[in-house]
Amino acid sequence: FRSPLSLHPYSDPHERIMARALRLASRGRHASPNPMVGCVLISPDGAVVGAGFHPRAGEPHAEVWALRSAAPGAARGATAYVTLEPCSHCGRTPPCSLALVEAGVSSVVIAMLDPDTRVSGRGVEILRNAGIDVTLGVLEREARELSAAYIKHRTTGLPWFVLKTAASLDGKIATRSGDSQWITSPPARRAVHRQLRDRCDAIVTGLGTVIADDPSLTTRLGARSGRNPWRIVVDSRGRTPLESRVVRQASVDGRTMIATTEQCPSEHRELFERAGCHILICSQDVEGRVSLPDLAARLGTRGDMIGVLIETGGQLAASALNSGIVDRWTAFLAPKVIGGDAAPGPIGGLGAAQMSDAQKLSTWKLRRCGPDIVIDARIW
Ligand code: AOF
Ligand code: ZN
C-alpha cells in the first residue's frame, strides 16, 4: 500500500516526469476500489501545464483533474503522462481517452495498460486512432508495484493480502505470559497506522488476538483519514466477546464483520447483528476452521475489498501463509530480546520439519523505522 517511490534520480526525461505522476498517483490512497492514478501535462517547451490524481472512487479521473487544472487551450499539443492507460469506458465519468483527444494533446506516455477488462488496450486504441502518439511501459515496474492490489483484484477477483507482524530480534511476538504491548517503537506503530491500516480496505484478525489484546483495529488518524477500514474477525464458532472493542466499534461505523462458519449458533449471529456486526458464513477447512481461500474469494466478490491487511497471532498467520492467500509480508523487527521457549513467534502451527521445507521468500525492501527495521517480502 505504500508508495514505492523514494526521490529517485531518473536520468531519462520521460521517467522523471512519470515518477512525478506516480508520486501524484500515490496521493490517491483512498481511491480503492479504483486504482491510484496520476497525470502530468507537459507543453512542447517542457513546462508543466497541468497535473492531477484520482482522489476517490466516484470522483473524476486523474486526466480530468489534470485537464481542468490547465489554462484554457494549454493542453493543445501537450504530452500527457499517465500512470495507467486512460479509460475507454463510460463508468461514473466519461472516458478519459476521449477527454485527452478532445483537449488536443499530441502524445500520451503511459506506464501500464489497465487490467480492467472494460479498458485493457481500448484506451490506447482510441488515442492511436485519433492520431495521438502513444508510448507504453515507462516506469511500468514502479506503476505495477503501486497498483499491485488493484492489478491482483482485477485479474484474479481476489484481494491483495498483506501480512503484518511485529517481533523482537529473537523472533517473539509476546512474552511467555502473553504481554505484547509494545514490542516496536512509537514511530513503527505510527507507520502501521498511516501506511498500512489507513491504506487498506479491511483488517483481518483472529478470535485469539481479540481475546488476548482486545485491539480496536481503527486507524486512529481522526479527521485526517475520514474512514476506518473494515475489521474482520476470523472466528469459526462465533465466540467473539460482545464487549470487545471490535464489536463495540460496529455501532460507531458499522464496519465490523465476523467471518465464521455454520458452527456459529444462530443466537450468536443474532447478537452480533444486533450489535451492528456483519456476519459472513464461510466454508470450513478439514479442521472445522474458517477456510481462508473461501474467505478471500468472498471478500473479493464484494468488490470493495482490494487491499486487505492481516494483523493477527501465530496460528491464523500460519494458516494464512500456508493457505496461499498472502501476497506480501511486512515484518517489523525491534532490537529487543524477549527470550524463552514458551514465548510465541509470528508464525505458529507445526512449521517445517526440514530446512528444505522452509518457504523461501524474496525480500524486496528493507527500511528503518525509528530504532526498528522493516522487511517487506513478496510471497510467490
Ligand atoms: C483512468 N484514470 O484516474 C482512473 C481510471 O467507476 P469509475 O467510472 O471511476 O471507473 C473505474 C475504472 O476506471 C477503473 O476500474 C479503471 O479501469 C479506471 N480507472 N482510469 O483513465 C483514472 N482512476
Ligand atoms: Zn478515466
pLDDT exceeds cutoff 80 at 9: no
Q: Is the CB of 64 under 6 A from ligand 1?
A: no
Is 316 marked as a binding-site residue?
A: yes
Is 315 marked as a binding-site residue?
A: yes
The complex scores an ipTM of 0.91
Quick one: cell of 149?
A: 492490489
Task: Write out the H or E segment, with its range, that includes residue 160.
Answer: strand 160-168
pLDDT digits (tens, 9 = 90+) for 108-140: 999 999 999 999 999 999 999 999 999 999 999
State the amino acid at position 97 in one-letter form.
S
Q: Within 13 A of 136's CA, how many CA atoms are on the CB side?
A: 12
Catalytic residues: 63
pLDDT digits (tens, 9 = 90+) for 41-96: 999 999 999 999 999 999 999 999 999 999 999 999 999 999 999 999 887 778 99
Q: State in Å: Cα 251 to ligand 1 middle.
A: 32
CA distance 16 to 22: 10
Q: Are strands 160-168 and 256-260 parallel, antiparallel or unpaired?
A: unpaired
Find, among 280, 266, 272, 345, the residue nearest to 308 by Cα. Answer: 280
- Please give the pLDDT value at position 1: 39
pTM, full prediction: 0.93
Distance of CA 112 to the CA centre of its chain: 18
Q: Is the CB of 87 under 6 A from ligand 1?
A: yes
- Please give the pLDDT value at position 219: 78
Q: Which residue has the cell 443474532?
A: 270
Q: State in Å: Cα 226 to ligand 2 middle.
A: 24
Q: Within 13 A of 81's CA, how many CA atoms are on the CB side?
A: 29
Q: At what angle do helices 96-103 and 122-129 cross, to 10 degrees?
A: 20
Q: Please give the number of the atom of ligand 1 that sits closest to the Cα of 53.
A: 3
Find, among 316, 5, 299, the residue nearest to 160 by Cα. Answer: 299
- Please give the pLDDT value at position 218: 86
Whether 13 contacts 135, CB under 8 Å: no
Whether 40 contacts 20, CB under 8 Å: yes
